Structure 1
Amino acid sequence: MSNLNQDQGQHTSHIGPEGVLEKRKQYFFPCTHHFYSNPPQIVRGKMQYLYDEQGREYVDFFAGVSVVACGHCNEQITAKTIEQLQTLQHTTTIYLTQPMVDLAEKLASGVLPGNLKRTFFCNSGSEANEGAMQLARLHTKRRDFIALEYGLHGRTYLTMGVTGIPMWRSDDYLDSGVTFIPRPYDPELDDETAARRSIESLRQVLAEKGDTIAAMIVEPIQGNGGMITPPDFYFREVKKLLEKYGVLLIADEIQTGFGRTGKMFAMEHYGVVPDIMSMAKALGNGVPIGAFATTDEIAASFNRPSASTFGGNPVSAVTALAVLDYIENNGLVERAELVGGRLLAGLCLLQKKHSLIADVRGKGFMCGAELRGQDAEASAALTDKVLERMKDRGYIIGKNGTGRNVLAFQPPIIMPSKDVDAMLKVLDEVLTAVESEGC
């Protein structure tokens, strides 16, 4: 997959990876990192493909962390975006424009689950979760939150407070009104036992201080936490417990939403409708947009004057409408279930063949393969080696997990079966080579 394409002959206008890295070093904050010891400069994308400054082609199995679900530079979507850019780019929510109300209506009319109907638009997942948490406080008139260990919910003050991955909690002075409970996963326990332990911990926290807690915020599948996928009963029992104490459930569907897991929203796998739901990423297919949605009753509590300068701007709203139409017209939810199931099954077969794969988890096109080295450091190094070699063979794969040792497969949902099969074949070859080297 390293063939040259139409970028050939044009790459001299690019500064190249070394030039990009030098400018990052000079002008970025030191917290900004990148994948690969030998990274390419990505200059172009087309559906499931990315291209570097040398014209090399890569099949993208990460989709910018679950963002471009409909493919890079999807012509049917970008045509609508360009048309709106040339018509009206921005006014803010203070003025009346049609795209954002059309988008809110579209979401309420068959996209959002249950009786979720009211939507507040913003710009990012962090902002959506921040707003969802503020809404929960306003409605319950309580202050505190429950979150799962190793969840990731954003980069704002409130959302870092409920983030349970230490590397993403960059502020040492975060809100103390958050109680973390064990997530429904432990490599030392079977799935049901780990889930029951988590539920029992929740029960104890609610019994002790349930009257102070506004909401529990969860990812239906923990993405950055390592593709942690709870048993089917887990969230149903969680919701029943929360309702007993008047605590709201916030579902963070920022990575999992809009078809990625084989349902429009991942909570649908568990038969649960949350009280508040946050969305972003795939809704804009690369154009920034975020939102949180809730019921008429809960939305009525957010009645203080508020606005968002850029939230729901005409360009983002028109793009999101085109995304929803594309998902529906091309059966992407069903495609994620079918082709994503093929990917998951293929990874499970590789696990049986390669001892380096400790576990395979996920649903639809949100899959993870945890790699196992001699210790935590070796596992992370092994993951980086596999990522590098897969990149050199023309495949872009992500990584996550608390030890940064989980291969993350979150491709554009338009990914065809042939590319899934080809990637699995190359991954098999790469793992075989790495094992032969004694890693």
Structure 2
Amino acid sequence: MTAHPIDLVDTDDPSVEAEAILRRQNARESSARTYARSFPIVPARAQGMTIEGADGRRYLDCLSGAGTLALGHNHPVVTEAVRRTIDSGAPLHVLDLATPQKDDFTEALFATLPSAFADHARVHFCGPAGTDAVEAALKLTQTATGRRGMLAFTGAYHGMTTGALAVTGSVAVKEPVAGIAADVTRLPYPYDYRCPFGVGGERGAELSATYVERLIDDPSGGVTPPAAMILEVVQGEGGVVPAPDAWLRRMRRITAERRIPLIVDEVQTGAGRTGAFWAVEHSGIVPDVMVMSKAIGGSLPLAVLVYHEDYDDWLPGAHTGTFRGNTLAMATGAATLRHIAREGLTERAAVVGALMMERLSQARAALPVIGDVRGRGLMIGVELVDPEGVPDSRGALPPAPRLAAEVRAACLERGLIVELGGRHDSTVRLLPPLTITDEQAETVLDRLTDALAAVTAPRLAGRPA
């Protein structure tokens, strides 16, 4: 068999081999790849928060698999669970049959849930991605209510399959797919810095809630009785925008009074990320459905739907999939959930996250390109703006997506992996593992602020003092 020309690499230089791997990826993988474009590195080894590339360079990983790696890379709790499961001879794939590992994971998961929810809950194991669990949630509530429409929010991200994409807010990913947003009513999410009503704060959140309630009740508002409302407690891909607790309680009241199921997407916020085990705990709301994935698998693919037993109306096979029985992920997931609870990592996330946000907020004086710092726990967003731009009525400056991309690249040069999100991809997102040390947190902030200063210095050089 003749090798492709780009396969012919004969060198002992790891940098050359890494470049060859990147060339092969560029030649063979689809144009839809994303992170590989932002981070032209070849991870070869990883431990904790540190990734080592094939070329020997090391990076602090503040992306954590988009929040999947709650304990960082190759945590001993996770690797031991993998070895133990493999050594036991357990079947690694059994569709949705019962196994000791599945039962143990279910016990571990339910032990973390608010008792008011867990005491009347059912669990459904979905395909391995969060988007499949969102699809299941939509189908579940449509089946239970006999309705079709969905209420979803601006800035939302729920996945890339058809139903999940329909309730996602991003226009760019939906434009090429005709009719993708059918039967979805888009509602204003309370975004303080760029308030849809131009007022922000408590008043902005109050207007959002009032708008939602009146629109649903308006017989000429164009909204037919919906099958569900779906929301994120903190919008991750939407720019790390946290919803006020009072607003969330209002959404719960509005939906409960009208018998509209409330779906909360905890794919990225779950398993301690926001400083509570589940983000709904901050407000005290009890949803009808919770969508979970990412960190619950302990770094391996796993997604589940947990919902109130009253909605368990679908028939056998109503939502199925070949890879719902990932035994290894259930074992690593159970070990991870218990470790987070046992070691108090949710409380740790709250404390370290608050300290990181405080230092970033203080940096705004010296770095006027920082428009806003926000988040919850170890889910932090730094929105970058054009300090020379014209502010809106709320005082928010125009987003700076090109600058944000330059900052991301400058961070990578300094050994820090961060990703962007939000409107116009102008928000730097920090999603470090819950195991981040104080020293690592300081290093992350040092590298980020240094990158910000280096990128913005030429732009600010001509500004008057």
Query: TM-score higher than 0.5 here?
Result: yes
Q: Does 1:246 align with 2:259?
A: yes
Alpha-carbon distance in structure 2 between the residues aligned to 1:17 and 1:68 = 24
Q: Secondary structure at the match of 1:179?
A: strand
Counterpart residue identity of residue 49, structure 1: T
Alpha-carbon distance in structure 1 between the residues aligned to 2:183 and 2:272 = 33
Quickly say closer, same or farther: Cα 1:370–1:175, change in 2 above 3 A: closer
Which residue of the other structure, out of 371, 388, 398, is the alignment partner of 2:419? 398
Q: Which residue of 1 aligns with 2:34?
A: 33
Equivalence map 1:110-189=2 (5 Å): 110-112=112-114, 114-116=116-118, 117-122=121-126, 123-169=128-174, 170-185=176-191, 186-187=194-195, 188-189=198-199
Quickly say closer, same or farther: Cα 1:436–1:35, change in 2 above 3 A: farther
Are 1:359 and 1:369, in contact at CA under 8 Å, matched by a contact in 2? yes
Shift of 1:384: 1.2
Q: Does 1:338 align with 2:351?
A: yes
TM-score, L = length of structure 1: 0.92
Alpha-carbon distance in structure 2 between the residues aligned to 1:199 and 1:377 = 26
Shift of 1:77: 1.1
Counterpart residue identity of residue 50, structure 1: I
CA RMSD for the aligned pairs? 2.2
Shift of 1:15: 6.6
Instruction: Give the aligned length.
Output: 429
Q: Secondary structure at the match of 1:59?
A: strand
Alpha-carbon distance in structure 1 between the residues aligned to 2:376 and 2:182 = 33
Are 1:152 and 1:224, in contact at CA under 8 Å, matched by a contact in 2? yes
Quickly say closer, same or farther: Cα 1:377–1:89, change in 2 above 3 A: farther
**In the TM superposition, what whole-angstrom CA distance separates every residue of 1:42-80 from its partner, at most 9, and x where no partner exists?**
111101111111211111111111110111011221111
Equivalence map 1:40-439=2 (5 Å): 40-86=41-87, 87-112=89-114, 114-116=116-118, 117-122=121-126, 123-169=128-174, 170-185=176-191, 186-187=194-195, 188-208=198-218, 212-299=225-312, 301-306=313-318, 307-373=320-386, 374=388, 379-438=400-459
**In the TM superposition, what whole-angstrom CA distance separates every residue of 1:58-103 from its partner, at most 9, and x where no partner exists?**
1111111111011101122111113323423434345331211221
368-377 or 312-321: bigger deviation: 368-377
Alpha-carbon distance in structure 2 between the residues aligned to 1:378 and 1:313 = 42
Q: Secondary structure at the match of 2:205?
A: helix
Shift of 1:112: 4.8
Are 1:89 and 1:315, in contact at CA under 8 Å, matched by a contact in 2? no
Alpha-carbon distance in structure 1 between the residues aligned to 2:102 and 2:12 = 39
Shift of 1:28: 2.0
Shift of 1:11: 7.6
Shift of 1:21: 3.3
Quickly say closer, same or farther: Cα 1:130–1:58, change in 2 above 3 A: same
Shift of 1:172: 2.2
Shift of 1:105: 2.4
Are 2:22 and 2:40, in contact at CA under 8 Å, matched by a contact in 1? no
275-284 or 394-403: bigger deviation: 394-403
TM-score, L = length of structure 2: 0.87
Shift of 1:270: 1.4
Quickly say closer, same or farther: Cα 1:113–1:254, change in 2 above 3 A: farther
- Identity between Structure 1 and Structure 2 (%): 28
267-276 or 23-32: bigger deviation: 23-32
Counterpart residue identity of residue 250, structure 2: E
Counterpart residue identity of residue 181, structure 1: L
In structure 1, stretches of 5+ residues that fail to align are 1-9
Quickly say closer, same or farther: Cα 1:321–1:386, change in 2 above 3 A: same
Q: Secondary structure at the match of 2:235?
A: coil
Quickly say closer, same or farther: Cα 1:235–1:38, change in 2 above 3 A: closer
214-223 or 23-32: bigger deviation: 23-32
Shift of 1:175: 4.5
Shift of 1:361: 0.7
Are 2:352 and 2:438, in contact at CA under 8 Å, matched by a contact in 1? yes
Alpha-carbon distance in structure 2 between the residues aligned to 1:383 and 1:11 = 36
Are 1:233 and 1:270, in contact at CA under 8 Å, matched by a contact in 2? yes
Alpha-carbon distance in structure 2 between the residues aligned to 1:428 and 1:102 = 43
